[in-house]
Structure 1
């Protein structure tokens, strides 16, 4: 069982990583499907949860359950301390300068919508004033959650949506960066790690151009924070979004991190209890961030679970996780090339990419691939992965995706390859 140390060492060489000890913490990994050992290769969709997270949430409900920020009794105090303690853990995990920069949301989608909501033609702060002639920049590899909110914003305001293309190798096409990001650009919002191609986007040139033209920069880090060390100060971003359920935590809670000066200038997203300062029948004034954006009863037990997940990831070490996944990705990319007729989408080398590998098998629909693999206990995802424009870019209606995590083993990758050979026998 993984224990939680007081502090984490800095690694100069390959960090120690015991995947068997880690797997022992995940009850679901001992399951069988149709008599086969469970091979879970869908962590990019949602990760599995260790006992430590499950137990932390159970203990909260059993011993500390109460509402937060509104009760002076003992249980209310304990719940509030646990909720705000989770916020502090998130802040430390991503290098934020203050817990007040961390806003709890329902998920990454809500976090991105919250930022998009701040822009309007009536915004009092010039940084959020948006109208005809202004531009928003995304990319062709976005999850729908980082595309549709900006499309809706452009429809409301008359602004123009523009985007980076994708190269044949599955990288962002930055060849038109200076033309695409210009003095009309108000915000650039791009994915940091693609949920469909596995690409980890190098953002330094984009960040420099964003700063040059005076725009804002948001990164969708839903597939980054669970897998790689990330520091918001080092990346010089204005906003990031991520979600707990992809990083060993529960569903129902996500995170928006934003610079304090920007959060303070943003209007409320939802109105109700806990986000107010004073209320009269004629007018309401609003609490400072982050409370301004957390109307109503928040996801309290979910925050406790997220805090426990961060404890777990920190105990293992993000450097160790990143190293393990890089080795796994290299192994998987090599192993998959042995499957006849298999095409990998995205980078085919384990450089600048994560452990999300999407592919197609010639002549076989991804849904058929997924069904045969499921019969063998191998759980992958099939479809357009909420990134349909990326599928269109590569000329396919859907892809099969295997996504790896800290509990994935080379034996499971071998099982996937054997399963794909079985797929070919069934349909070819």
Structure 2
């Protein structure tokens, strides 16, 4: 029975903490929870596939739904360009545009401004850039980002933050970005027109400086947004540094609010990040790597373009229950590695099939993680996960061994 002590409620969100890792002497920060949003329930921890322009490349909304996805990510910058805010307002938002009856999270658009566009300049006003269409000067402000996301109608919307690559040596600029992100959050909160139906999450910045991250945590928490994101990572920093930042932040975050680490998608990163106390993740990698002929499996990534698969009539992954891998007798497609190999270099069907499989793999991994937390066997699951992924313990990445040891999981012990 749920009690008020493990439930957080805001006008458009309910977050119920249902289980925590508590195995004697191996207590990690892993949590399982239920997140209720305007378009339905989401089980945490979870991975969000990225539907950049209101669709996942090579997969229909029905197929995405079939993988078990109940929350996907759309890109504010791209939707703001096409179809544009006027069309979004006219049709009633992105859910209707893409025929998606479940939840949507939108990023603020700021990251794309800086990473994709030439001559982008960040000032206190916002992000100044040149239009990719005709080169005219444009400005994305916190207010405009909120207006766009209100028009999109996303269930979770992200604040506009000042994004700086974590490996930047400019400490003064890093502090400026962190402090500006706090000021921009205040502007986002003031400009947000639909708090009763859309949730605004803050984004913690501060690079690899743990003191700066902690300072940002305190400032952001004082604004009391329904959820909290850890941003500015997955930008080339060492994995050990990434883990230190996530651990430092989750240590300060309230139990009852969802925690989202942005831009994370490699399977081992997901497992370690859950152990460090994070709940939500997104990344384009599973779908992008599918377009290069790669299948994500529990034993690692398989490049199906390799000629050894030309006569392999096994499923993409043995034991996988996705529609691609399941046999026709089980109601699936019964697709073989040989078929995908044959089409991988010349037909889009291979990318389509691998995208379905890879998205399913990611979501199923999170389901397995959640089940292990609920059954209080998460440390054992983590050890088995790494045993499947690597042939020998000597191959385990040092960053993962170190990070997990910090939360009482020793991968090297027998």
TM-score scaled to structure 2, two decimals? 0.30
TM-score scaled to structure 1, two decimals? 0.30
Pick 1 or 2: higher relative contact order, CA cutoff 8 A, min separation 6: 1
